[in-house]
A and B are shown apart, each in its own frame.
Chain A
Amino acid sequence: MTYVFVETDTSGDVTLTSAEAITFARTNTHLLPDGAAATSRRVAGDPSGSTEGVVVGELTDDAVAQLGRLGVSVIHHLEHPDLEDYSAAAWAQAIVDIAPESGTLLASGTPRGMELMAHVAVRTGQAMAANIVACDDDGLLRQVFGGTAFERLRLDGDLHVLTIAGHACNPEETTPVTPEVYDYDLTIAEADLATRVQRTEAEVADDASGLTSARAVVGAGRGVGSENGFGEVLELVDHLGGALGVSRVVTGLGWRPHSEQVGQTGSRISPDVYIACGISGAIQHMAGIEGAKTLVAINTDAEATMVQRADYAIIGDLHEVVAAVNEEIVRRKQ
């Protein structure tokens, strides 16, 4: 069977990336370690065995219904006063305590998912493979070099511990099931609480800008020229009700905060449209925008990778072009 660590947001809903990971688990018939499949298939007709969710902390009715629509047949619900404040070691041990001995245990490749699976891997004596994008007869395939290349690998052991790369698949609902919810009596060791979160400052949330959920993202790179060069771009963000995303050069120069960075070491986004203004299209930036449905480039250089990769492009100075786009939007609204 496949256990998926499920992250929920502050309102208790299943996050988009967890929905992706569940879909990945449910639709990948090759996910189980050799030998584990036969003994652990519990759902007739489902070659990968059952997909079960692991939720730590509050479990809302909405989340149960969402998980049911995603095809999760069993929810392992881990709740304990000592798990309320996040501690990777305590959460990981709770997961280890209820995890199967054979099968697959996976999480989305978010900071939380990565951290927890790494702890789980050490505690269960397993290897862990991060950033998996596919799984077939030839083994697992994972992203390396920030998405520039893929690595083919096989893991030994009866329990596979994995994280799924962001946007490796689209979340898909299936014939809804009513998940059984299992609650547990948990014992949390004091030693595992040593690195518990003391407090959280919500106002400086990493994704305060809504970058990862915006339908339209306007990207700005070194081409904006200076800290004061974002005027037109921000106005366009406003017209689209979207978010600003920037390249690493922009955060490195201190023009904008890191929370707005898109790419390998920033956010991975999947908006309906990404408008890259003055961004060259370095591989580490592209790693963050693979999920964009439509890609638009505005660049002075017609040969820039971003232009070559885009669906639509305008060649020209971004300040002039974006200002004209803003004017045109205002004109059409009148």
Chain B
Amino acid sequence: MNILVCIKRVPDIAGAVTLDDAGTGIDESGLGHTMSSHEECAVELAIQTAAATGGTVTVLTVGPAEAVEQLRAAVAVGANDGILIEAADPSVFGPEDIAQVIGDVVRDRAEAGQSFDLVLLGNDAADTGDFQVGIRLAYDLEYPVLTNIQMLTPAEDGSGPGAGANSTAGGSGSVEARGIGPAGTEIFALDLPAVVAVQEGGVDPRYPSITGRMKAKKAAIVEYDAPEPGTGNPRIRLELPEVKASAVTILGEGPDAAPALVDVLEEIGVIRP
């Protein structure tokens, strides 16, 4: 099964952030970058699924030239190659634009003989949290779509190695997908080609090996030019939450402080009688 995973370069934030001069973005100068966490799991799921079916994993990002780092990080853990759609400032694109751009590239790759049976993305990106790109992409490609998925198992019905490799419309066959629902784990049978948005939690992303890192340096990255800004992003500005002054009451140090905490818990009324 040939799988495309769409990932996004996002700032790696641990503490408070500051805004840029325009007030429409955060100041990224002192921050490292990473891929969104749901997407780390999407990459892992893709690698496992491709390995089980003798397929390939291609990673794609719409981002600045530096986003090649995230593509290479995915290759270092097992992806085969990458696609960079270079956009100096991807924040000017809304979810509709991104879905359209990815859809165009999927069609373009199919024409060039590289069709994908499955397109994976994260449910939502760590920065914008839009939760729409996967669903909008699926409508654009006219594929079925699932979200909140944590596990994929290829069906044993011939959807194995290279299924659909010769078809520009993508693959055939199906996968079993498991995701979280309000009443428990939901199980779906998904016909391919399809789009799946992944939720963190089903698999643990692996760490790159030395050979993986070596391979990543040499991996083929296909580049596409920046898309035309489309419907745009309706952002007016960013605002930061008020920084609350610390109002902590230190109950004490070490085990001696335990009775003071039990007093607090009794006052709140949460100790089971």
Contacts and interface: CB of A to CB of B under 8 A. Distances in A.
Interface of A: 7, 9-10, 15, 86, 88-89, 110-112, 114-115, 118-119, 121-122, 127-131, 138-139, 141, 143-156, 163, 194-206, 215-216, 238-242, 248, 251-252, 254, 257-259, 261, 264-265, 272-273, 282-284, 293-294, 296-297, 302, 305, 307-317, 320-321, 323-325, 327-329, 332-333
A324 B258 contact: yes
B147 A272 contact: no
Interface stretch (B79-87, B104-112, B263-271): B263-271
Contact of A329 (B188, B189, B202, B271): B271
B206 to A, nearest CB: 12
B224 interface: no
Contacts of B148: 111, 115
16 contacts: A111-B180, A145-B126, A146-B126, A148-B13, A149-B239, A149-B241, A153-B234, A156-B234, A205-B185, A241-B272, A314-B260, A315-B250, A316-B253, A316-B255, A321-B258, A328-B258
Q: Ordered nearest first, which 7 A-B pairs have the shortest CB separation?
A: A258-B201, A324-B255, A324-B258, A202-B184, A316-B254, A241-B272, A205-B184
Interface in B67-116: 94-96
Contacts of B265: 216, 240, 273, 329
B192 to A, nearest CB: 11
A114 to B, nearest CB: 4
Nearest to A129: B234
B120 interface: no
Interface stretch (B57-65, B138-146, B160-168): B138-146
A316 B234 CA distance: 47
Given A130-B124, A145-B13, A265-B200, A152 B241 contact: no
B180 A122 contact: no
A151 B252 CA distance: 39
B2 interface: no
A184 B19 CA distance: 49
Contacts, number: 260
A77 B254 CA distance: 56
B128 A325 contact: no
B135 A112 contact: no
Contacts of A163: 131
B77 to A, nearest CB: 15
A149 B238 contact: yes
Contacts of A332: 262, 266
Contacts of A248: 37
B211 interface: no
B237 A312 contact: no
Given A198-B187, A317-B254, A258 B247 contact: no
A114 B124 contact: yes
A309 B246 contact: yes
A328 B257 contact: no
Nearest to B266: A332
B190 interface: yes
B236 interface: yes
B139 to A, nearest CB: 5
B210 interface: no
Contacts of B188: 195-198
B131 A114 contact: yes
- Kindly name the residue among A194, A307, A314 whose own CB sees the greatest number of chain B CB atoms within 10 A: A314
Contacts of A206: 180-181, 184-185
Contacts of A320: 254-255
A310 B251 CA distance: 11
Given A194-B191, A313-B249, A205 B183 contact: yes
Contacts of A204: 184-185
Contacts of A216: 265, 268, 270
A305 B132 contact: no
Contacts of B249: 311-313
B156 interface: no
B257 A321 contact: yes
B130 interface: yes
B16 interface: yes
A313 B136 contact: no
Contact of B268 (A89, A147, A205, A272): A272
Nearest to A297: B248
B38 interface: yes
Nearest to A295: B248
B229 interface: no
A160 B159 CA distance: 41
